[in-house]
Amino acid sequence: MFPFFWFWAPQLHLPFSGDVAQDIEPSLDLFFKGIKPWAGDARIERQAFDVASYGDQLGAITALLLELAERLPADEQARSQPLQELRAIHKRIQAIKVAERHGRP
């Protein structure tokens, strides 16, 4: 059709046709709605999650505990089973992170 006849061109809008607006921001509402009422406030949890994810929070706590445990005498460190378990867990998580960064399964 010629451009100068655009005002004679019919515009037909069938049901469910026309402009579409879509919000593509991921929604984590299902995750935060899953928080039980007695376990915390979902709005506060979401704001805290926006500051630092649960993994970041646990990583900081783990690093602090391991740093504080290094100040204990060597014999106490060797006897502490929870400390050994925490070190093993931390080591496995670090290995997973390295493998993911380098694309290895």
Per-residue model confidence as pLDDT tens digits over 45-85: 888 888 998 889 999 999 999 999 999 999 999 999 999 99
- Structural element, H or E, at residue 32: helix 29-33
- 48 in a structural domain: no
Q: Note whether residue 33 is domain-resident.
A: no
Decide if 82 is inside a domain: yes
Q: Assign 37 a pLDDT band (cuts: 50, 70, 90).
A: low
3-state secondary structure 52-72: CCHHHHHHHHHHHHHHHHCCC
Note whether residue 24 is domain-resident.
Answer: no
For residue 47, the model assigns a pLDDT of 86
Of 28, 25, 57, the C-alpha closest to 43 is 28
pLDDT in tens, 9-33: 666 677 777 676 776 777 666 666 6
Q: Specify if 96 maps to a domain.
A: yes
Residue 105 in tokens: 């399964």
Q: Is residue 22 part of a domain?
A: no
Separation of alpha carbons 96 and 9, rounded Å: 60
Q: What is the pLDDT of residue 82?
A: 93
Q: Tell me the residue range of the domain where 104 lies.
A: 59-105
Would you say how long the chain is, in residues? 105
On whether residue 75 sits in a domain, the answer given is yes
Structural domains in the chain (count): 1
Q: What is the pTM of this model?
A: 0.58
Residue 5: pLDDT band (50, 70, 90) is: low
Asked if the structure places residue 88 within a domain, the reply is yes
